[in-house]
Amino acid sequence: MIDPLGGPAYWLPFAACFLTAYLIGSIPFGVVLTRLAGAGDLRAIGSGNIGATNVLRTGRKGLALATLILDVLKGALPVWLAGRYGPDMAVVAGLGAVLGHCFPVWLKFQGGKGVATALGVMAVLTPLVALLAVLLFVVVTAISRYVSLGSMLGAVAACGLAWYFGHIQAAELYLVLTLLIVAKHAANIRRLLTGTESKLGRAAEPR
């Protein structure tokens, strides 16, 4: 009988790629850096999120920038490496890296919202789309002061832009990532609707 998955010789490399990317994405740089800097447990600060926005609430701008860069890189590096073995492998790596950030095994699967890591994935797969999504994020965040709103709209825009430019496979991946990002922002969406969402530069709302 023919194996519909093509047999282990076909799917094992993809499984290994996914697992490797997941483990890289799982590295909680925000938690690690704040602890090393003596700023305490990031999960007990502000919103409790492990990303750069919450690191910024510690008052350590340098740590926040370093967290942002590292979270982007842990999405970009696996995709870049996997891309040497084909676009399908790169997509698998991108999904694994973002899932790793959102559900890190090291933190009992309680992770971040995946925005910066998804940006790293997009920067490698579709640089122009990533740039345009970042520009939209900057504009929306600058006007509204809501990082969450800018993040979600940037992710949604990336899906449409990738499709428009003919990057169909990337657009399909971005759709999955966008649904994940929006789901991780469920609490933010509720606060946006009630007008209680924390604005950039202000203390975070209680979790």
- What pLDDT, on a 0 to 100 scale, did the predictor assign at position 118? 97
- What pLDDT, on a 0 to 100 scale, did the predictor assign at position 207? 41
Report pTM.
Answer: 0.89
Residue 2 lies in a domain: no
Residue 3 lies in a domain: no
- What pLDDT, on a 0 to 100 scale, did the predictor assign at position 6? 58
| Type and span of the H or E element at 23 | helix 8-25
Q: d(Cα 204, Cα 194) in Å, to the nearest integer?
A: 15
- Domain residues for 112? 8-194
Q: What angle do CA 123, 157, 20 make, to 5 degrees?
A: 40
Q: d(Cα 139, Cα 151) in Å, to the nearest integer?
A: 11
Domain tally for the chain? 1
Residue 202 lies in a domain: no
Residue 163 lies in a domain: yes
Q: d(Cα 118, Cα 100) in Å, to the nearest integer?
A: 11
> From first to last of its 207 residues, what are the pLDDT tens digits of the chain?
445 555 666 678 999 999 999 999 999 998 888 888 887 788 877 777 888 888 888 778 888 899 999 999 999 999 999 999 999 999 999 999 999 999 999 888 999 999 999 999 999 999 999 999 999 999 999 999 999 999 999 999 999 999 999 999 999 999 999 999 999 999 999 999 999 888 876 544 444
Residue 90 lies in a domain: yes
Q: d(Cα 177, Cα 158) in Å, to the nearest integer?
A: 10
- What pLDDT, on a 0 to 100 scale, did the predictor assign at position 94? 98
SS3 state at 160: helix
Residue 1 lies in a domain: no
pLDDT in tens, 21-31: 999 999 999 88
Q: d(Cα 156, Cα 169) in Å, to the nearest integer?
A: 16
Close Cβ partners of 35 (under 8 Å, ≥ 6 residues apart):
41, 42
Distance of CA 201 to the CA centre of its chain: 21
Residue 199 lies in a domain: no
Residue 65 lies in a domain: yes
- Of 111, 91, 118, which Cα lies nearest the Cα of 27? 111
